[in-house]
């Protein structure tokens, strides 16, 4: 009954489309114009992607830290490693450069050799005061040598903050206004103002300035994403159009298909603007994805039209049959593909949720566009010429299909042995997969800003902030001698970890106060003894400037302190080991009944977010499998057919996961997407094959072998065509400069190739081997929906 209603629905749909061609084209144009008007609402991500949901405990702690101390990722650093810097002209130009930076309204404060302050004791007022490090502009090399010698040897407070004593690297620290760090104003300042200042300085001095810090990295990374969107779209259009033309040898068919996917791309940008979602490294993939996924729709529809023309030469009947016979099949396959993306919607990650929403909407959108534009466009054109139909009888495709039939007929045992061996090897490989929680790993390695990240890692031990928050549970508890001693002990532990930079906290300032009390002698840069503490801290409290220095490290009540360090880009296992060591020492040093201590910061947030996504991967993939299993159950009403249909689609996923383990591709936010995307797309082939198989069973009076081979011949070509398009389409992403995008493209391409072979060889083999169990009228009942009509031909007559 349902099947008859479905058939009637598609017949009516065909009539409506063909009878209202002008109106439908007008509506498509109007909707395209409307969505194009939403483009100005698109915005690129200004903040770092938070992979954790808002209610996650780790995120709650991070938000608490931001509320107390403000945005942590507001520091831009500029460094120079060159001995010629310490000459009058260049040194003074460096100081002028710092003054220029400080003049911008987007900059809150600049710390550099230009405005460095030295803490000294005023014996008259019995207070600590700050005096300029540079009292007058140096004019000779000897004056600069005196200054640098004093800086490197007598001011340990600034070591690894402003200078590296061993390599004599100097850096300037720019603190951006915290209110603009996560806005477009940050991008404008960095791209237009900061980069221009750096260029001017480099041109004048012939020095190489290294620039980094989280605001700078995020800005330059976003710029790389923007540049890649256009590159991906052009590459996807170029590759798919070439393949399409190779298959069809028709400029007309190629042009129509390109129009369909270009409008689909316009819609995808419009949906992003309409929903006001930010363009991230994930949502930037959607426009080229729409091209790659849309072309197979065009292949099915145009090929069916040409088959019908070749069969009877009646254009009106051919167009009507394209819609009524292929419409249902393409709808089903697009729904399963959209389902693979839609599973991300149920995750708590806002990043994945937005990606899933936009991708699934636009996949259905490209299906609607294909179904409307292709028949309507052909209705205004003359019938295809004989040369345009030659591809329907391509011999090399026949050779490929015959080879598959031979494998299924004669080598089934070998197919099972190979499949089992691949399964075992893949399981071994899966156990070797790492999880990557590094926000830097996927960034483009050949860019200048990535090389600068490595420079600062080498010179100053990292740029990714790690924060340790210490709540003393009492007002003014931070500056108590016992608390300072414990913080100093933890700082020593941090300093011993090679992947972490020298920590900075209130302890550094108290040590500096003691050094100032003893006339600036460097050996006194240490915590005051219990006897010294009373009068040193008393002097410190009288000092007007000291409170301003402390505000960065201690909250206004004096109850909560922070210890800030920076982490190098390390593997997840090492990051977890560092976190474990710090937690172990925190628990040992700070009794939980007297202190509440936790770790946070961008580096740890990203690590926790990645692990959270890995857990969500299992859920989203299980949901995708469950949805498609239900879909298959609704179509075929057979539990055994569900199991058989899932095997050739799950095996490629396992093989890909094993391959990731063997070649060292870690699980990370970008590669997590591979499995749900590939599963949603690859199951389309299974649906086509089983639908045709079930139809052949009815036509051949339940003769299993004949039905399997007939289905293989009929669907083999279409599956090969679409798989080739998808393989090369997803391969486009391997031209990316982002490691994660390259991995995504390569892995999805490989998975779809494995899935095509599994559906063309393993699936028919299973059907033949298990024919007695599955191929009977009670198991394969009348389907709820006829995906393929009774006289359907996929690609051959």
572-586 pLDDT, tens digit each: 778 888 888 999 999
Q: Taking the chain, what is the end-to-end CA distance rounded to the nearest angstrom?
A: 28
Task: Note whether 260 and 300 are within 8 A (CB).
Answer: no
d(C-alpha 454, C-alpha 464), whole Å: 12
CA distance 82 to 92: 15
d(CA 351, CA 666): 19
* Tokens 């808002």, residue located: 54
Please name the residue that has the structure tokens 């740029």.
Answer: 463
Alpha-carbon torsion angle 411, 414, 415, 416, nearest 10: 130
Helix (H, G, I), strand (E, B) or coil at 784: coil
User: Is the pTM of the predicted complex or chain greater than 0.85?
Assistant: no
DSSP state, 581? H
* Nearest-angstrom CA–CA distance, 632 and 333: 12
Distance CA 148, CA 165 (A): 10
Q: Give the helix/strand (H/E) hosting 208.
A: none
Nearest to 13 by CA among 326, 444, 222: 326
Q: Domain spanning 2-47+220-431+606-774 has what CATH number?
A: 1.20.1640.10
Q: What is the CA radius of gyration of the chain?
A: 33
DSSP state of 121: E
Please give the pLDDT value at position 26: 93
Dist CA 267 CA 60 (whole Å):
37
- Decide if 72 contacts 601 (C-beta within 8 A): yes
- Domain residue spans of the chain: 2-47+220-431+606-774
Residue-wise pLDDT for 166-191, tens only, equals 899 999 988 888 777 777 778 888 88
Matching residue, tokens 């404060």: 109
For 279-288, the pLDDT digits (tens) are: 776 787 788 8
Q: Exposed/middle/buried for 115, CB within 10 Å: 0-12, 13-18, 19+?
A: middle
Residues of the chain with pLDDT under 50: 1-2, 544-547, 777-780, 785, 791-797
Block residue for tokens 């509440």: 596
- Residue 154's CB: how many other CB atoms inside 10 A? 15
């Amino acid at each position: 009954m349902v099947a008859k209603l479905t058939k009637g629905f598609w017949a009516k749909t065909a009539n409506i489309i063909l009878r209202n061609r002008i109106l439908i084209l007008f509506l498509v144009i109007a909707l395209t114009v409307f969505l194009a008007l939403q483009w100005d609402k698109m915005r690129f991500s200004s903040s770092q992607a938070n992979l954790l949901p808002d209610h996650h405990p780790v995120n709650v702690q991070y938000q608490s830290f931001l509320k107390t101390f403000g945005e942590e990722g507001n520091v831009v650093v500029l460094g120079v490693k060159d001995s010629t810097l310490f000459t009058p002209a260049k040194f003074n130009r460096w100081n002028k450069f710092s003054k220029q930076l400080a003049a911008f309204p987007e900059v809150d404060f600049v710390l550099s050799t230009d405005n460095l302050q030295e803490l000294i004791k005023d014996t008259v007022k019995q207070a600590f005061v700050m005096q300029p490090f540079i009292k007058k502009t140096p004019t000779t090399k000897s004056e600069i040598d005196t200054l640098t010698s004093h800086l490197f040897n007598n001011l340990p407070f600034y070591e690894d903050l402003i200078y590296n004593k061993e390599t004599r690297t100097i850096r300037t620290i720019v603190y951006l206004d915290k209110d603009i760090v996560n806005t477009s104003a940050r991008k404008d300042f960095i791209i237009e103002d900061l980069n221009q200042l750096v260029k001017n300085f480099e041109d004048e001095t012939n020095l190489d300035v290294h620039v980094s810090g989280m605001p700078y990295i995020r800005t330059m990374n976003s710029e790389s994403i923007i540049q890649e969107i256009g590159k991906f779209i052009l590459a996807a259009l170029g590759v798919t159009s070439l393949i399409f033309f190779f298959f069809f040898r028709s400029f007309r068919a190629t042009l129509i298909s390109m129009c369909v996917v270009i409008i689909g791309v316009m819609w995808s940008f419009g949906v992003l603007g309409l929903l006001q979602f930010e363009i991230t490294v994930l949502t930037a993939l959607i426009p080229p994805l729409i091209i790659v996924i849309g072309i197979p729709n065009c292949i099915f529809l145009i090929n069916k039209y040409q088959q019908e023309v070749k069969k009877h030469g009646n254009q009106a009947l051919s167009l009507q049959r394209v819609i009524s016979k292929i419409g249902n099949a393409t709808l089903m396959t697009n729904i399963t593909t959209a389902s693979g993306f839609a599973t991300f919607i149920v995750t708590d990650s806002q990043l994945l949720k937005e990606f899933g929403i936009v991708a699934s909407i636009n996949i259905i959108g490209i299906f609607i566009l294909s179904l409307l534009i292709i028949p309507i466009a052909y209705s205004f054109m003359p019938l295809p010429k004989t040369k345009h139909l030659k591809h329907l009888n391509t011999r090399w495709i026949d050779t490929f299909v015959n080879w598959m039939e031979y494998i299924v007929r004669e080598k089934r045992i070998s197919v099972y042995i190979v499949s089992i061996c691949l399964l075992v090897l893949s399981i071994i490989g899966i156990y070797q997969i790492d999880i990557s929680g590094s926000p830097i790993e996927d960034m483009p390695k050949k860019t200048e800003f990535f090389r600068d990240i490595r420079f600062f890692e080498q010179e100053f031990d990292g740029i990714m902030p790690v924060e340790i928050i210490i709540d003393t549970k009492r007002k003014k508890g931070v500056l108590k001698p016992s608390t300072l001693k414990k913080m100093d002990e933890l700082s020593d532990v941090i300093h011993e970890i090679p992947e972490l930079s020298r920590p900075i906290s209130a302890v550094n300032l108290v040590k500096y106060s003691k050094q100032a009390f003893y006339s600036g002698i460097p050996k006194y840069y240490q915590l005051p003894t219990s006897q010294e503490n009373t009068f040193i801290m008393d002097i410190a409290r009288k000092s007007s400037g000291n409170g301003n220095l402390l505000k960065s490290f201690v909250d206004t009540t004096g109850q909560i302190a922070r210890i800030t360090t920076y982490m190098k880009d390390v593997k997840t296992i090492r990051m977890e080991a560092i976190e474990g060591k710090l937690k172990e020492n925190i628990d040992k040093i700070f009794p939980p009944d007297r202190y509440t201590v936790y770790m946070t910061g961008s580096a740890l947030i990203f690590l926790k977010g990645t692990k959270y996504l890995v857990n969500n991967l299992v859920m989203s993939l299980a949901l995708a499998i469950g949805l498609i299993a239900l879909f298959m159950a609704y179509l075929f009403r057979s539990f055994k057919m569900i199991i058989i249909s899932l095997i050739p689609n799950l095996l490629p996923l396992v093989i890909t996961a094993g391959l990731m383990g063997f070649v060292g591709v870690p699980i990370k936010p970008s590669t997590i997407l591979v499995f749900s995307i590939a599963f949603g797309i690859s199951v389309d082939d299974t649906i086509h094959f089983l639908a045709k198989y079930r139809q052949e069973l009815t036509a051949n009076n339940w003769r299993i072998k004949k039905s399997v081979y007939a289905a293989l011949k009929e669907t083999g070509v279409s599956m090969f065509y679409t798989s080739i398009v998808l393989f090369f389409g997803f391969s486009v992403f391997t031209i990316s400069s982002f490691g994660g995008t390259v991995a995504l493209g390569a892995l999805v391409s490989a998975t779809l190739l494995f899935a095509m072979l599994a559906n063309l060889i393993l699936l028919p083999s299973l059907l033949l081997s298990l024919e007695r169990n599955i191929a009977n009228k009670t198991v394969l009942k009348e389907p709820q929906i006829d995906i393929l009509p009774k006289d359907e031909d996929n690609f051959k007559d």
